[in-house]
Amino acid sequence: MSLSAQDLLRELLRIPSINPVFGSADGSGSGEAKLTDFLQEIVAGQGWKWLRQEVHPQRENLVALIPASNSFSGDPVTLWEVHQDTVGIEGMRIDPFAAEQREGRIYGRGACDVKGSMAAMIAAISLAAEQEACRGTTLLAFAINEECGFTGAKALCRLWEVTAEVDEKTHGTLSLDELRPLRPQRAIVAEPTDLKVVKAHKGIVRWRCHTHGHAAHSSQPQRGKNAIYAMNEVITAIRQFDAEALSGRGADCICGRPTVSVNTIQGGTGANVVPDHAVIEIDRRLMPGEEPADAHQELIDYIAAHISAEQEIKHEPPWNLSRGLQAGENLAWAEEVAKVARSAEVPSDIVGVPYGTDAWVIAGLGIPTVVFGPGSIAQAHTDDEWIAVEELEKGVEVYRRLAGGVS
């Protein structure tokens, strides 16, 4: 039975799936669990076999198997991947779970990133299956924890490895013995790309940096050592590194140049106390091909060389890192996806983007991988997140043609 993408999106939006790093809607910290349960009901209702894979306690990937239609059984196995988690809701100007539709838009946390694409994928594949037009075997995967670590996508890829650990953490109507021979031969990862085909994107390394001082009464600041002043030296060094060391790199790269920024800062306990501690979070965006560990160490060394020797500084290990998606073997698949989009009167370009996605992990299977979906990254994570209905429906049509092999 085919599904309406608009109706499905509104149902998806009413189910909070906030990544636990950002808190939760009801204080339960349940993460994606309720959404996973709902998605299981949807895929089971379509008659598709499904498998759930525990990644973290009470946080599970879900994979659905949609067999090839009879006349297309020899076509490639395609992995369609979309993440379940969203960022938090603090500061939103709309009800994040009301799923309000007005003036040609559907509003809510995740409408753009990435439940719009999720609804479009499900609706498109269900329609292709109903029309008996599925070209090759389709694997539809819903991964957890894209926003903070990519652990869902990493666990997903392990399903095609033979390990006891995987065996112990899966259950469903689809067995691992059935799934493992169906190793994906190409993949499409859902993100809001303005219906452009992404063949490459940047990587990420994020970590915390601490400065330490000595507390004193603010009436005699000379008796203390101000950790915020020390952090000011660190931040100045980071800005200098971005302007001098990074600005000349990657000028001809499709993704733009590498960058670094400081995006959170905390320090001090009160206005009358010289602060003895400060901490920042550093966000370094990598070029495709850069190694996260190398980029991390390079900036640590630069900071050490450009601050006063007496400063006490400590860098934590990275808490989020990913390689970029290299264009490499993706071009032919990207051109095929773009051709299908154009057949649906969607003028789709092949591009690189500065943000990270699950695609770099999926590409680690050694398969062509692109990123494609309705919506704009400009609306992702915003305080009034939305997706245009017209773009959502265009996404359904392109996905349907991809599932059905139309070009």
DSSP H or E segment with residue 151 = helix 151-158
Residue 24 — very low, low, confident or very high, per pLDDT cuts 50/70/90?
A: confident
pLDDT tens figures, 68-91: 987 666 789 999 999 999 999 999
Phi, psi of 232 (to 5 degrees): -60, -40
Question: Looking at residue 243, what DSSP letter applies?
Answer: I
Alpha-carbon 161 to chain mean position? 23
> Which amino acid, 373?
G
Burial state string for 209-221 with b = 16 or more CB within 10 A and e = fewer than 16: bbbbbebbeeeee
Residues in the chain: 407
User: What's the whole-number average pLDDT of the chain?
Assistant: 95
Question: Looking at residue 23, what DSSP letter applies?
Answer: -
173, pLDDT greater than 90: yes
Rounded Cα–Cα distance for residues 25 and 16 (Å): 7
In the prediction, which pLDDT does 405 show? 67
On whether the CB atoms of residues 50 and 44 are closer than 8 A, the answer is: yes
Candidates 333, 346, 406; CA nearest to 373 is 346
Q: Exposed/middle/buried for 278, CB within 10 Å: 0-12, 13-18, 19+? A: buried
Q: Domain extents for the chain?
A: 5-201+324-403, 203-322
> Which amino acid, 148?
C
Overall average pLDDT of the 285-309 stretch:
97
On whether the CB atoms of residues 34 and 20 are closer than 8 A, the answer is: no
Cα 106–Cα 112–Cα 116 angle in degrees, nearest 5? 70
On whether the CB atoms of residues 199 and 327 are closer than 8 A, the answer is: yes
Candidates 278, 279, 273; CA nearest to 215 is 273
The correct answer on CATH 3.30.70.360 for the domain covering 203-322 is yes
Rounded Cα–Cα distance for residues 355 and 283 (Å): 11
CATH architecture of 5-201+324-403: 3-Layer(aba) Sandwich (3.40)
The most confident of 43-57, 123-137, 152-166, by mean pLDDT? 43-57
**pTM for this one?**
0.93
Overall average pLDDT of the 375-385 stretch:
98
Rounded Cα–Cα distance for residues 204 and 320 (Å): 7
Number of helices and strands in the chain (H, E): 11, 19
Rounded Cα–Cα distance for residues 70 and 140 (Å): 19
pLDDT tens figures, 94-126: 999 999 999 999 999 999 999 999 999 999 999
In the prediction, which pLDDT does 406 show? 63
DSSP H or E segment with residue 264 = strand 259-267
In the prediction, which pLDDT does 51 show? 98
pLDDT tens figures, 312-366: 999 999 999 999 999 988 999 999 999 999 999 999 999 999 999 999 999 999 9
Looking at the DSSP bridge assignments, the partners of residue 20 are none
Alpha-carbon 245 to chain mean position? 28
pLDDT tens figures, 195-242: 999 999 999 999 999 999 999 999 999 999 999 999 999 999 999 999
